[in-house]
Amino acid sequence: MKNLAIPFVGVIMVLTSCSPSPKENTPIVKITNPSAMQRAEVVTYVLPEGVKGNQIKIGGEIVPSEFVDLDNDGENDQVNVLVSLPPSTSTELVIETVESPKTSEKLTQAEISIKEGGEWTEEEYVGGEFVNLDFLRVPDQHTDHTYFIRYEGPGWESDKMGYRFYLDWRNGMDVFGKTKPEPVLQDVGQDGFDSYHELSDWGLDLLKVGKTLGLGSIGQFRNDTLFRFKETDSVTCAIAKNGLLESEIVTNYYGWKDGGVSTDLTSTIRIQAGSALTTHKLNFSTPLEGFCTGLVENEGEEYLDIIDGDYRIFATYGDFSLNNDKMGLAIIVENSSIQDEVSGAGSHVVLFNPEKELTYYFMAVWEKGINPISSMAEFELLLLKEATKLNQPLKIAVE
């Protein structure tokens, strides 16, 4: 047995040979929880050539999973599986091939929806019906409130929380509070352009972003001023994954010009089942000074800034949702990525070291949501659990 200690968000290679023997063609993957807390996470690994499967079992029981064809060649290449592990224990996953595999419930979603069948005027898109796309090159005439993109940008959700960002010069990250675990974004904004500001059976838009960093938005911060993506050569957005247990959005900002520097920036947003946490990975052609993320400041909020292992947690909590009730916002950043933390532009601003690659995490909670949080103390405990997952990743071994 060969042990591989890696973060759960990584890709695990199953090192097993192809053989006609049924026993040898069903590799056993041992997953160990090294932490002193219960873990429920999505594990991802890649199937070697020749190893097939369509169902996962743990202890003889079928568990939520999805098999993914990464290169569209008709063969499954990757497996996502939702595992639950008690503290300091191990479990074995067994890949099976069966005639009628049990279909897992869809717990994540990513989408972008635009109007088609209408026409552009000088100020907005008139007429047409919303259709979902896998890829969009943002039209040059598109800006805020042109009524072209449903809820003004792409959205993503898990069974715990939903999010969106404005696919225009504002580029702000926003929160859709959910009242039920199943996917809901497909219905948001269908009955009126901004109807999601009112509480409905699925939930509502919770956050006022305005000119701030909202929740985990990105930009440049110089001289107490926040600069967004107002000047670019072009922008594209792709729904890279819209899976049962994992969904992903990839946005490319070509020729983002600000502060005398131009860079191409790729943003990859990923969410997994069982968690409200969004992973945001960024790649730059040219590193940027003053690149930042952060959280909107709200009157009467409680503010948290703590270090846990390799990570630093910034969070706010209070009665500042657009539903006039309690919500919490947080970002989790690796200590080594942080240059400074300042206040400005109505935000708690986290300045990054200029690098070609960086990753950070963000999440929201709501007192009327799937997992209601009723105090900053409860929110802090939840955030420390998320930091533990990052600091003590699951350990994988393949037999």
Provide block-wise average pLDDT over 10 residues at a time, the chain (399 residues).
Answer: 38 35 60 95 81 87 92 86 95 90 95 97 94 97 94 97 96 96 94 78 94 96 88 96 97 90 96 97 95 97 98 98 96 98 96 97 96 94 97 86
Q: Which amino acid is at 172?
A: G
CA dist 384 to 12, 119, 245, 308, Å? 25, 49, 23, 7
pLDDT score recorded for residue 371: 82
The residues facing 79 across adjacent strands are 45, 67
pLDDT score recorded for residue 346: 96
Task: In whole angstroms, give the CA distance from residue 76 to residue 70.
Answer: 7
Distance of CA 392 to the CA centre of its chain: 20
Q: 324 CB contacts (<8 Å, ≥6 apart)? A: none
Q: 78 CB contacts (<8 Å, ≥6 apart)? A: 11, 44, 45, 46, 47, 67, 68, 70
Which residues in 173-277 belong to E strands, given as ranges?
173-178, 203-205, 219-222, 225-227, 234-242, 246-258, 261-272
Task: In whole angstroms, give the CA distance from residue 155 to residue 86.
Answer: 32
Count the Cβ atoms, other than its own, within 10 Å of residue 8: 20
pLDDT score recorded for residue 67: 92
Q: 251 CB contacts (<8 Å, ≥6 apart)? A: 154, 167, 235, 236, 237, 238, 266, 267, 269
Contact 169, 228 (CB under 8 A): yes
pLDDT score recorded for residue 25: 53
CA dist 313 to 61, 306, 316, 359, Å? 37, 5, 10, 14
Note the pTM of the prediction, 2 decimals: 0.92
pLDDT score recorded for residue 215: 98
